[in-house]
Amino acid sequence: MEYRKLGNTNLQLSAITYGAFAIGGNMWGGTEKKEAIDSIHASLDRGVTTIDTAPFYGFGLSEEMIGEAIKGKDRSAIQLLTKFGLVWDGSNKGKGEYFFDAEAGGKKLPIYKYASKANVIKELEESLQRLGTDYVDLLQLHWPDNSTPISETMEALELLIQQGKVRAAGVSNYSVTQMKEADRTLHLTSNQVSYSMLNRSIENDLVPYAQETNTGIIVYSPMERGLLTGKYFKESKLKDNDHRNGYFGQFDLEKVKAFLQAIEPIAQNKKASLSQLVLRWTTLQPRISVVLAGARNAQQAIENAATMDLSFGSDELRFIDQQLEKLSVPVTQ
Contact 109/41 with Cβ under 8 angstroms? Answer: no
Distances (CA, A) of 318 to 11, 266, 270: 32, 12, 17
At how many degrees (to 10) do helices 61-70 and 33-45 cross? 50
How many CB atoms neighbour CB 66 within 10 A? 27
98 assigned to active site: no
* Burial class of residue 65 (count of CB atoms within 10 Å of its CB; 0-12, 13-18, 19+): buried
What is the C-alpha separation between 133 and 128, in angstroms, rounded? 5
- Cα 237 to chain centroid distance, Å, stands at 25
Spot the catalytic one: 3, 18, 57, 247.
57
* Residues annotated catalytic, as ranges: 57
